Amino acid sequence: MGHSHSHSHSHPHSHSHKDLKGRNLFITILLNILITLAQVIGGILSGSLALLSDALHNFSDVLSLIISYVANLLSKKKASLNKTFGYKRAEIIAAFVNSSTLIIVSIILVKEAIERFINPIEIESNLVIWLSLLGIAANGFSVLLIKKDAKANMNMQSAYLHLFTDMMASVAVLIGGLLMKFYALYWVDPVLTILIALYLVYMGYDLLKTSTRVLMLFTPNTIEVQQIVSEISKIRPVKNVHHVHIWQLNEDEIHLEAHIDFDEDINLSEFDKILETIEEEVYHKFGINHLNIQPEFGKCDSKKVIVQD
């Protein structure tokens, strides 16, 4: 059975970059714990639900950032005999947990806001204004810290989204605080709460969908199985490609396993050459960097492209 993963390109500075990613995450965790505590106390003292919802939002961030931080540490752990893939999927699980909690928190907030809308109360707006300014400053700083890593990694992207929505939520709370202070428009508070919550659902859903696809070992959206099969079938003396499975292990690894039926009874050195050609083909055209091929000649099994095990 030919197995190869020759295309795991690693950069010499990637380790220091990973440590920096962890350090930046750690700083944002501390900042967010600070904001959450300040906003919870402020929300209770001022009676502002929007401030409490922002605090809850921040708290979900603290949890998600801690999950992301731990996942980031775990993903660096080496594989072992009883964990042959190591902890490579830790970050995907983190993204899944984060997005799920985001949606649950949002639903709770909407329910609270509707109740508050029915029975509005007066709110201490000065406190709301100062604490929302604190939220904007701290979240803005956090967003800048991890912006670069968010582009390349689902886990960091989930942390970045949390922080960015936090900053926007704090801006909304600030506007609400000003409206309450100068115009006594206390209904603005539950309206803002609902808007923040709906935005959270919207953001969380996309990430939930993506991380679920990876966890369920679905074929990545960008890959057409039929296309791969026809590309490999063009290589001589390949007769048939079947029993194909394609899945994504984590952000960096896409695996392909397949059985290949040959026209002639080739020897192993020939198979190695053909395997090399297939590797190059699937890596450069489809980004698949782990390959596991079972060669066959005249074997009586189903030749359908995909066979359920």
pLDDT at 10 over 60: no
**Which of these, 208, 176, 159, 153, lies nearest to 58 by C-alpha position?**
159
The pLDDT-based confidence of 2 (bands split at 50, 70, 90) is low
Burial class (CB in 10 A: 0-12, 13-18, 19+), 102: buried
Tokens read off for 209: 């969908």
pLDDT at 249 over 50: yes
Who wins on pLDDT, 246 or 117? Answer: 246
Q: Do 290 and 5 contact (CB within 8 A), yes or no?
A: yes
The pLDDT-based confidence of 28 (bands split at 50, 70, 90) is confident
Distance in angstroms (rounded) separating the CA atoms of residues 280 and 245: 18
User: What does the pLDDT read at residue 8?
Assistant: 43
End-to-end CA, the chain: 18
Q: Do 56 and 44 contact (CB within 8 A), yes or no?
A: no
List the domains of the chain with CATH numbers. 10-215 (1.20.1510.10), 225-296 (3.30.70.1350)
Instruction: Calculate mean pLDDT across residues 191-198.
Output: 85
Listed ranges 71-85, 143-157, 183-197, 277-291; the one with the highest mean pLDDT: 277-291
In whole numbers, what is the pLDDT of the chain averaged over residues?
82
Q: Do 222 and 121 contact (CB within 8 A), yes or no?
A: no
8: amino acid identity, one letter = S
Q: Where are the alpha helices (DSSP H) in the chain?
A: 14-46, 49-74, 90-118, 125-150, 154-183, 188-215, 225-233, 268-286
Percent of the chain exceeding pLDDT 70 equals: 91
User: What does the pLDDT read at residue 291?
Assistant: 92
Burial 60-70 (b: 16+ CB within 10 A, else e): bbbbbbbbbbb
Give residues with Cβ within 8 angstroms of 269, minimum separation 6.
none
Q: Do 87 and 77 contact (CB within 8 A), yes or no?
A: yes
Tokens read off for 189: 């508070």
**Which of these, 214, 99, 88, lies nearest to 161 by C-alpha position?**
99
User: What does the pLDDT read at residue 166?
Assistant: 81
Residues 107, 113, 117, 121: what is their CA dihedral angle, to the nearest 10 degrees?
160
The pLDDT-based confidence of 146 (bands split at 50, 70, 90) is confident
The string of pLDDT tens digits covering residues 277-307 is: 999 988 998 889 899 999 988 887 777 766 5
Tokens read off for 103: 């949606």
pLDDT at 18 over 80: no
The string of pLDDT tens digits covering residues 48-102 is: 878 877 887 788 778 778 877 887 787 778 888 888 887 878 878 888 888 888 8
DSSP 3-state of 163: helix
Residue bearing tokens 């965790």? 29
